[in-house]
Amino acid sequence: EGAGSCAEVNLMPSDIVNFPMAEYADADVILVADIHRGGVFAQIIGTLHCLPQKYRDMVKGFIINRFRGDIALFKDGVEWIEKETGKRVLGVLPWYSHFKIDAEDSVEIENCLNLNDLRPDVPAIAVIRLPHIANFTDFHALSRINGLQVVYIDRPHHLNQFRAVILPGSKNTRADLEWLMQNFKKPLEAYARSEGHIFGICGGYQMLGEFVDDPDGLEGHPGKTDALGLLPVQTVLKAPKTTTRSQFEWEGKKGEGYEIHMGYTFLKGGIPMLDILSRNSNPCTDRDGCMLINKKIAGTYIHGFFDSSPVLSKWLEGLGLDLFCPDEGFTSLKEKSYALLRAHFESHVDLTHIL
């Protein structure tokens, strides 16, 4: 990044993730500058001048990112950068609009639908905006369904206007659970009594249970935090972290996602939600998640749950919604988008000086 980060002089003595990592790996460094933010020349020259000489020597070149307009008009800019720094500009990447890739978490929140903009005649899904919310990509497939609104909420006003409320993943489950208990417990209980649909993913699944126990203090101080009690499950956080690509089946509908979580969740009632067919390509016969008998409240550890069109269609049908889901699943669409990103990069960056 050319806007700061790797050249924060006040943090450099304790920095372990930027140049020290590259130095440890004996790796070359490419500085990427975001021209869309403006001041691209100052980004590059300023960053280099803030670096000690040993780090400056590790920078082998620059890439100018997010360029709008005619690249030919930036030819003089490229020449100036190369003359002033003595290093190559390896490419200028134009702004793209012919494909979409996953956004950063903060960008996703900034661009989400405002609660005041909801149309009362169009069904809506609410995702609770936890303080440490994670894995926003879980809801991209929902967001592209025509005739469906997806909104992030941080206040429990009028939950009955939503066809379903989703509890997402979290970077700190117990801290977010305490916030949730303080702000959403009674409204979610009332929503559940009115037979509203509630769905939890990963940390959100854990929060729907009876408690989350962290005996080893993996997320902070050791202890047990009472949960919502909407699902008959209990969670104990334990190392190591589970990280798998997982294929699953939900009542005849197959999908694929991933798991990334600490610990285990034990069912004390209800029914398992999913059959796990494989983890990291290894066949298995495990079960995942929990669902009440009436199927109104459920949870799973599977991220990317909605990315399979048959699974998404089945979930929407359970809400009483008959909406068209594209035959091409969201996973396949993402793979095509990343292939287009690769082609876009290769056509504008001189790879002979990188590889």
Q: How many CB atoms lie within 10 A of CB 27?
A: 12
Q: What integer pLDDT is reported at residue 113 of this predicted model?
A: 58
Residue 222 contacts residue 281 (beta carbons within 8 Å): no
Q: What integer pLDDT is reported at residue 3 of this predicted model?
A: 41
Arithmetic mean of pLDDT, 230-256: 96
Q: Which segment of 21-30, 93-102, 112-121, 333-342 scores lowest on mean pLDDT?
A: 112-121
| Burial readout 155-181 (b: 16 or more C-beta within 10 A, e: otherwise) | ebeebeebbbbbbbbbebbbbbbebbb
Fold of 105-314: Rossmann fold (3.40.50)
Candidates 235, 174, 185; CA nearest to 206 is 235
For the stretch 185-196, pLDDT in tens is 999 999 999 999
Arithmetic mean of pLDDT, 137-143: 90
Q: Catalytic site residues?
A: 202, 303
Residues of the chain with CATH 3.40.50.880: 105-314
1 CB-side CA count, 13 A: 9
Candidates 192, 107, 120; CA nearest to 152 is 107
For the stretch 228-241, pLDDT in tens is 999 999 999 999 99
Quick check: 111 pLDDT over 60?
A: no
Mean pLDDT of the chain: 92
